[in-house]
Amino acid sequence: MASDGKEGKTGPSGRDDPGQRVGPFAALPDMLREFGVDPEELLRDRGLPPDALESPERRIPFFQVGRLLKSAAEKSGCEHFGLLFGQRLGLRHMGTLGEMARNVPTVGDALRTMAVHQRLHSHGALAFVLEEGARATLGYSVFHASTVGADQIHAGMAAWILNLVRELTVPGWVPDVVQLARSRPAVVTPYRRALSAPIEFNAEITSLRFDSALLRQKIPGADPVRFAIYEAQVAAIGRRSLLNDVRRALRLQMVHGKAANDSVAQTLDMHRRTLHRRLRECGTTFRQVLDEVRYDTARHFLHTTDMPLTQIAVALGYSEVTAFTRAFRRWSGETPSRFRELGPVQATDAATPAGTGNETTLGETPRVV
């Protein structure tokens, strides 16, 4: 389906697709040419105009990100194309957010600044920083179903966020472990070489894990005056979307092991009743949005990883796999196992799960809701 590259176009699943800032993908055509691939031809094949990636500030549909990287991997003959692409990226590809990160007092401030404002770059994925005692996690997760090419996205993001931390600390910094929310590739040597750390495939999120002391490391040359200038620029950009903010908050709460009304409302700094009222004004309910996020995340796990169904059920907040299976069948018309067998191209890809109204008898036992 053709697209003019603007946010809000309908994706392959029929729901309005969240936008993605071109940002780092403006560097993709040059890399394609190095591999002997015509970028304009690749863009045309994906239904995008030939100039779709010319400006970093332009936006493309989020679902196209994975498809572009998948096509690039196929046409270049390089299975780990996304990984190599991520290795080329750094703070400069974050635009204003990258400049903000350079001008805050500590590494933790920089990473949190980028995570908080990452919504300006992507409405289909989120970045986050978790600190639990002596351990810290810098993570990335897709919350809008984009199963085609998602393995390339996660590989590229792991390499990119590793570069971000190295720019803020030292060039040779290595995390304790890298987690990738994708299945184990046939050849892992390029991943070990690029990421320089033990790798865990089939993870729930893509992340770097490291000693939390790093978060308190000072950033040399940080300038609060310059930070204030960039902060004002970011504040001037940001039109917010309640539904997108709720989806992001739900996915983040799932990472924490909870996704209840109260916790999401607190994350959004509003009362639970206010959240429900505003969602009704948008023509939906908390339950419907929760089911959408669960369905999108489940499809990602089923098509991009080899995670067992029991692990997927727990990650989505279900107390048992049978409850997850019943819910997924209601959403998609298929069991999770059958859906995985069909693959991302053949399987039903309806974005809004069926039967997600204000039902109270769903036959499922959520773990935390």
20, β-bridge pairs = 60, 122
Contact call for residues 336 and 324 (beta carbons, < 8 A): yes
Residue 205, judged by CB atoms within 10 A of its CB (0-12, 13-18, 19+), counts as buried
Helices vs. strands in the chain: H and E counts, helices first? 16, 7
- Ordered DSSP codes for 292-348: HHHHHHHHHHHHH----HHHHHHHHTBSSHHHHHHHHHHHHSS-HHHHHHHHHHHS-
118 belongs to a structural domain = yes
Under 8 Å between Cβ of 107 and 173:
no
- Pairing, β 125-132 against β 59-61: unpaired
pLDDT attached to residue 367: 36
Residue 149 falls inside a structural domain: yes
Tell me the one-letter amino acid at 59: R
Asked if 284 and 172 sit in the same domain, the reply is no
Q: pLDDT 10s per residue in the chain (369 long)? A: 233 333 334 434 444 556 889 999 999 999 999 999 999 999 999 999 999 999 998 999 988 999 999 999 999 999 999 999 999 999 999 999 999 999 999 999 999 999 988 888 888 889 999 999 999 999 999 887 666 899 999 999 999 999 999 999 999 999 999 999 999 999 999 999 999 999 999 999 999 999 999 999 999 999 999 999 999 988 887 667 888 889 988 998 888 877 667 788 888 888 999 999 999 999 999 999 999 999 999 999 999 999 999 999 999 999 899 999 999 999 999 999 999 998 875 443 444 555 444 332 222 333 332
Burial class (CB in 10 A: 0-12, 13-18, 19+), 332: buried
DSSP secondary structure string for all residues of 244-263: HHHHHHHHHHHHHT---HHH
Output the DSSP codes for 24-41: GGGGHHHHHHHTT--HHH
| Alpha carbons 130 and 209: distance in angstroms, whole number | 9
Please state, in angstroms and rounded to a whole number, the distance separating the CA atoms of residues 119 and 334: 32
195 and 271 together in one domain:
no
pTM for the predicted model, two decimal places: 0.85
> And the tokens for 31?
């890399």
The answer to whether position 11 is within a domain reads: no
With b for 16 or more beta-carbon neighbours within 10 A and e for fewer, the 278-308 pattern comes to ebeeeebbbbbbbbbbbbbbbbbbbbbbebe
The DSSP output letter for 366 is: B
**Calpha distance 135→204 (Å, rounded):** 18
Q: Are residues 65 and 171 in the same domain?
A: yes
Domain check: are 45 and 87 in the same one? yes
What pLDDT is recorded for position 276?
93
- Same domain, yes or no: 195 and 255: no
Q: Do residues 147 and 256 share a domain?
A: no
Q: Is residue 304 part of a domain?
A: yes
Q: Which two tokens stand for residue 248?
A: 């992001």
Q: What is the pLDDT of residue 235?
A: 82
Q: CA–CA separation, 334 vs 316, rounded Å?
A: 18
Same domain, 184 and 289: no
Note the pLDDT of residue 146.
63
Amino acid 261: pLDDT: 72
| Pair 308, 201 in one domain | no
pLDDT at 241: 80
pLDDT of residue 236: 81
Are 140 and 24 in a shared domain?
A: yes
Number of domains, the chain: 2
DSSP-derived letter for residue 19 is E
User: Does residue 302 lie in a domain region?
Assistant: yes
- CATH number of the CATH domain containing 332: 1.10.10.60
Does residue 234 fall inside a structural domain? no
In a domain, 4, yes or no: no
Pull the structure tokens for residue 77: 């003959």
Q: Are residues 268 and 314 in the same domain?
A: yes
What is the predicted pLDDT for the residue at 9?
44
**Domain assignment present for 131:** yes
Q: Are residues 176 and 139 in the same domain?
A: yes
Q: Which residues form the domain of 153?
A: 19-216
